């Protein structure tokens, strides 16, 4: 029963991500993925900064603040790079290739999410295969 539920989950995940990748295109998928990584890293650094401030570990707090500033600068640079690339992606000849590559990237993202879901279930003792 769990195997069928997991297979249905993976199938729906694949359809969702391929459709989303095709609709957005590869460039927008890369921007979305980069934004997600930066957001998760920022949240982790903020939590680390809060816990180090509570334990009065100032060198870790300083490192977290510097890392957050560098992460912001990195994100701004990436945004400057991807803004013209997103404009180029709207050209009709490039748009079709961009959409197909976005669908492929969505499929790869769905496979990665399915793998992490499988590993998480296996970690908790729920074996699906």
Quick one: tokens of 72?
A: 């912001």
pLDDT at position 126, please?
A: 84
Rg (the chain; Cα; Å): 19
How would you write the pLDDT of the chain (129 residues) with one tens digit per residue?
888 989 999 999 999 999 999 998 888 888 888 898 999 999 999 999 999 999 988 999 999 999 999 999 999 998 899 888 888 877 878 888 989 999 999 999 999 999 999 999 889 988 777
DSSP track, 64-110 = HHHHHHHHHHHHHHHHHHHHHHHHHTTSHHHHHHHHHHHHHHHHHHH
Neighbours of 78 (CB within 10 A): 15
74's CB contacts (< 8 A; 6+ apart) are 38
pLDDT at position 20, please?
A: 93
Sign of CA dihedral 114, 119, 125, 129: positive
Quick one: tokens of 121?
A: 């279930």
pLDDT at position 49, please?
A: 92
């Amino acid at each position: 029963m769990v195997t069928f539920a997991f297979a249905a989950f993976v199938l729906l995940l694949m359809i969702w991500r391929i459709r989303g990748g095709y609709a957005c295109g590869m460039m927008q998928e890369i921007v979305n993925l980069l934004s997600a990584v930066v957001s998760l890293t920022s949240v982790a650094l903020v939590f680390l900064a809060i816990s180090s401030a509570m334990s009065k570990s100032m060198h870790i707090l300083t490192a977290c603040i510097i890392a957050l500033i560098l992460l912001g600068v990195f994100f701004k640079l990436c945004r400057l790079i991807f803004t013209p690339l997103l404009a180029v992606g709207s050209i009709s000849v490039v748009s079709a290739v961009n959409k197909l590559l976005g669908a492929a990237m969505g499929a790869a993202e769905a496979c990665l999410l399915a793998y992490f879901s499988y590993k998480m279930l296996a970690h908790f003792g729920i074996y699906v295969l």
